[in-house]
């Protein structure tokens, strides 16, 4: 069993409750040139909140509690090494190790802070891209409204720098689009526009389709969400898009299709606790 996969899908299930509770007031349905809805809705909730200072030390402390004492001990040893390392290349090397270590335990927020620090020093495209991606993930998997604006602001900084270095890179464009929709731009439509431009250039783009599908779910446009998630799955079958696909089918009243998608989730994640949760979802559909 892949521990990182288990952490991810548990977070996805927890996210579903939050997803359905998101406010819809003030959301905007964009339309394409033909006048049809693109199946997305954007929220301004993060933009409406002030950005507070969030330190890597505070984020790391809570993340250590989540990963357990053994893994936390390895990270603490690296942090101690960082505190003693001289300024310059030696300290940056330890920060890179810390970023990778946090990646290994599926904790994007502290990893993002270290990648961001590296990027600010190196102005390297890959460091900026890594930082932005981690902060988008951190925003996605937290319900702490106090830290969300900081994650969004850091993601925007990272992806905007990445795009300056490689304006045509679709990963950077999609990442910036997601950050903008999450509240990093005056109008979330700026983010939707970037995501739609990405799928126009690359119709099968995983990141853009995945997020457009989630935005479609937030707006209640589950038929559009189904199309997005099926596109993602066609490229690479994974638990997360299958779970969202099952939820979308369920909301559409397509019970047979929802059950089949849930079964796929169970097959791809043979964890007893997860399997019991999926069986419960299936039972509710059959009753």
Mean pLDDT score, 173-177: 98
Round to whole Å and give the CA distance between 13 and 5: 12
- Is the pLDDT at 202 greater than 70? The verdict is yes
| Ordered DSSP codes for 209-252 | HHHHHHHHHHTT-HHHHHHHHHHHHHH---HHHHHHHHHHHHHT
Farthest CA pair distance, the chain? 64
Mean pLDDT score, 257-284: 90
Mean pLDDT score, 54-80: 92
Whole-number average pLDDT of the chain: 85
Cβ atoms of 93 and 101 closer than 8 Å: no
Cβ atoms of 234 and 206 closer than 8 Å: no
Beta strands in the chain (DSSP E): none
The tens digit of pLDDT for each residue in 116-126 reads 999 999 999 99
Q: Helices 3-21 and 239-251, interaxial angle, to 10°?
A: 30
Q: Find residue 35's DSSP bridge partners.
A: none
Half-sphere exposure of 184 (CA within 13 A, CB side): 27
Name the burial class of residue 180, with classes exposed (0-12), middle (13-18) and buried (19+) by CB atoms within 10 angstroms of its CB: buried
pLDDT at 269: 82
Minimum mean pLDDT among 92-96, 134-138, 236-240, 260-264: which range?
Answer: 236-240
- Is the pLDDT at 22 greater than 50? The verdict is no
Give the angle subtended at the CA of 254 by the CAs of 251 and 10, to the nearest 5°. 55
End-to-end CA distance of the chain: 31
pLDDT at 155: 98
Mean pLDDT score, 193-222: 94
Mean pLDDT score, 68-88: 93
Note if the pTM is more than 0.85. no
Q: Select the CATH number that applies to the domain covering 1-43+188-287 from these four: 1.25.40.10, 3.40.50.720, 3.40.30.10, 3.40.50.10420.
A: 1.25.40.10
Minimum mean pLDDT among 10-19, 35-44, 197-206, 227-236: which range?
Answer: 35-44
- Which of the four pLDDT bands, split at 50, 70 and 90, describes residue 31? very low
pLDDT at 14: 52
Round to whole Å and give the CA distance between 144 and 47: 14
Q: Look at residue 37 and give its three-state secondary structure.
A: strand
Round to whole Å and give the CA distance between 35 and 75: 52
pLDDT at 26: 30
Minimum mean pLDDT among 93-102, 146-155, 184-193: which range?
Answer: 184-193
- Which of the four pLDDT bands, split at 50, 70 and 90, describes residue 86? very high
Round to whole Å and give the CA distance between 165 and 125: 6
- Is the pLDDT at 37 greater than 80? The verdict is no
More confident residue, 92 or 218: 92
**Cβ-proximal residues to 71 (8 Å cutoff; 6+ apart), any chain:** 64, 105
Cβ atoms of 81 and 94 closer than 8 Å: yes
**Residue ranges per structural domain of the chain:** 1-43+188-287, 55-167
Round to whole Å and give the CA distance between 133 and 158: 9
């Amino acid at each position: 069993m892949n521990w990182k996969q288990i952490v991810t899908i548990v977070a996805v299930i927890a996210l579903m409750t939050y997803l359905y509770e998101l406010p819809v007031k003030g959301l905007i349905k964009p339309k394409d040139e033909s006048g049809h809805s693109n199946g997305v809705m954007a929220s301004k909730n993060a933009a409406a909140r002030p950005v507070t200072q969030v330190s890597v030390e505070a984020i790391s402390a809570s993340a250590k509690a989540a990963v357990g004492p053994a893994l936390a001990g390895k990270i603490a040893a690296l942090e101690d090494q960082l505190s003693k390392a001289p300024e310059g290349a030696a300290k940056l090397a330890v920060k890179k190790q810390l970023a990778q270590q946090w990646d290994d335990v599926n904790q994007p927020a502290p990893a993002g802070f270290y990648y961001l620090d590296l990027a600010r020093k190196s102005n390297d495209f890959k460091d900026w891209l890594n930082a932005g991606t981690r902060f988008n993930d951190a925003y996605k998997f937290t319900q702490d409204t106090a830290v969300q604006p900081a994650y969004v602001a850091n993601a925007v900084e990272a992806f905007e720098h990445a795009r300056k270095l490689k304006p045509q890179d679709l990963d950077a464009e999609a990442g910036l689009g997601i950050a903008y929709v999450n509240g990093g731009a005056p109008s979330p439509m700026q983010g939707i526009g970037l995501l739609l431009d990405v799928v126009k250039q690359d119709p099968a783009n995983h990141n853009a389709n995945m997020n457009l599908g989630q935005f479609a779910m937030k707006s209640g446009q589950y038929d559009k969400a189904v199309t997005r998630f099926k596109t993602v799955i066609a490229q690479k079958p994974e638990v997360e898009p299958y779970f969202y696909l099952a939820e979308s089918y369920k909301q559409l009243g397509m019970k047979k299709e929802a059950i089949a998608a849930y079964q796929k989730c169970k097959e791809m994640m043979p964890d007893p606790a997860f399997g019991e949760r999926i069986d419960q979802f299936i039972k509710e559909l059959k009753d």
